[in-house]
């Protein structure tokens, strides 16, 4: 497949994903709720540390340097655990609402949240595994320096590919977290081979959106600098929310496609070319 064919397919897939969002704008509430929850958690987490150490954060980090490594790593684990739980919770809800829409049914935000609550045990179990992996990688980075960064980079690529389908697997398959990773990796390997790479990315839409935001902000700057700044920030937040929602909708569509379920809004032939074809 040529570069321009990939670009054309990617554009079609992206527009199809945004089309689902356009017809069901309430889906954008999931990344909004996720982002707001993460912001609250971060403020609470770091605010708690600041309160415990009298806003002298050096005192907290000095525990790490003087042998209290367990405190820093325990705090990091808790931080990862809560963050992964929140992110996956709302992504599962969005995936479920997308499934309802593709089944021709009405989907409300409450339906997605209710379904995520019903899968809370699976979500938290996955978050524990993901947090554990995150702490291990952080430990390697701290102890191995430059070598650790290289290892993390390689493992990060492999991990992202292996866990590509983890969210829908967690949502609809009764498996353990480790089995979810294996199941996700098996789908990728069996459907598209072992090539690490995709023929489509939402990065293009981010790039085009940012160019448009910058251009509009520059024009508005001549009206009033404050107007330009506010418009730029709000536009960027809207872009990030829309692309995040579209990416999850796309993931739900691909998962349905590989399981031979009908995928409304998408061209099945284009979906077949999402990833590097499996080598014979």
pLDDT of residue 62: 55
pLDDT of residue 65: 52
Q: Does residue 219 or residue 69 have the better pLDDT?
A: 219
How do the domains of the chain map onto residue ranges? Answer: 3-272
pLDDT of residue 235: 93
**Is residue 5 scored above 60 in pLDDT?**
yes
Cα gap 8→36, rounded to integer Å? 34
**Is residue 159 scored above 80 in pLDDT?**
yes
CA neighbor of 84 nearest in space, from 34, 45, 47: 34
Render 146-211 in DSSP notation, one character per residue: HHHHHHHHHHHHHHHHHTTTHHHHHHH----HHHHHHHHHHHHHHHH-S---BS--THHHHHHHHH
Q: Give the pLDDT mean for 3-29.
A: 84
Q: Does residue 265 or residue 62 have the better pLDDT?
A: 265
Render 103-140 in DSSP notation, one character per residue: TT----HHHHHHHHHHTHHHHHHHHHHHHHHHHHHHHH
Q: Give the pLDDT mean for 132-149.
A: 80
**Is residue 155 scored above 90 in pLDDT?**
no
Cα gap 91→93, rounded to integer Å? 5
Cα gap 164→157, rounded to integer Å? 11
pLDDT of residue 194: 45
pLDDT band at 6 (very low <50, low <70, confident <90, very high): low
Q: Give the pLDDT mean for 109-131.
A: 95
pLDDT of residue 140: 79
Cα gap 116→167, rounded to integer Å? 11
pLDDT of residue 168: 93
Q: Give the pLDDT mean for 72-98.
A: 91
**Is residue 217 scored above 80 in pLDDT?**
yes
**Is residue 88 scored above 90 in pLDDT?**
yes
Mean pLDDT of the chain: 83
Q: Does residue 7 or residue 154 have the better pLDDT?
A: 154
What tens digit of pLDDT does each residue of 165-188 get?
A: 899 999 999 999 999 999 998 888
Q: Give the pLDDT mean for 191-210.
A: 68
pLDDT of residue 59: 54
Question: How far is residue 112 CA from its own chain's centroid?
Answer: 17
**Spatial contact of 274 and 12, defined as CB atoms under 8 Å apart:** no
Joined together, the tokens standing for residue 204 give 């293009």
Tell me whether residue 96 is exposed, middle or buried, using C-beta atoms within 10 angstroms of its C-beta: 0 to 12, 13 to 18, 19 or more: buried
Cα gap 204→4, rounded to integer Å? 13
Segment among 52-56, 96-100, 151-155, 172-176 with least mean pLDDT:
52-56
Cα gap 254→262, rounded to integer Å? 10
pLDDT band at 82 (very low <50, low <70, confident <90, very high): very high
């Amino acid at each position: 497949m040529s570069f321009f064919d990939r670009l054309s397919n990617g554009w079609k897939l992206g527009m199809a994903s945004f089309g689902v969002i356009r017809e069901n704008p309430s889906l954008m509430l999931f990344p909004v709720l996720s982002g707001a929850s993460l912001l609250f958690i971060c403020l609470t987490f770091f605010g708690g540390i600041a309160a415990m150490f009298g806003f002298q954060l050096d005192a907290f980090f000095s525990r790490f340097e003087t042998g209290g490594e367990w405190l820093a790593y325990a705090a990091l684990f808790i931080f990862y655990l809560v963050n992964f739980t929140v992110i996956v919770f709302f992504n599962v809800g969005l995936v479920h609402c997308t499934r309802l829409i593709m089944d021709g049914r009405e989907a409300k935000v409450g339906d997605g949240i209710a379904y995520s609550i019903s899968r809370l045990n699976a979500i938290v179990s996955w978050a524990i595994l993901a947090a554990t992996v995150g702490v291990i990688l952080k430990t390697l980075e701290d102890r191995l320096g430059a070598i650790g960064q290289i290892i993390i980079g390689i493992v990060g690529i492999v991990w992202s590919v292996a866990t590509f389908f983890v969210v829908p697997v967690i949502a609809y398959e009764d498996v353990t977290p480790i089995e979810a990773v294996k199941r996700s990796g098996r789908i990728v390997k069996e459907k598209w081979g072992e090539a690490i790479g995709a023929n489509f990315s939402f990065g293009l839409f981010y790039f085009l959106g940012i160019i448009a935001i910058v251009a509009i902000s520059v024009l508005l700057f001549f009206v009033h600098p404050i107007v330009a700044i506010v418009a730029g920030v709000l536009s960027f937040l809207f872009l990030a929310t829309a692309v995040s929602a579209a990416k999850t909708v796309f993931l739900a569509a691909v998962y349905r496609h590989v399981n031979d379920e009908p995928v409304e809004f998408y061209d099945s032939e284009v979906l077949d070319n999402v990833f590097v074809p499996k080598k014979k």
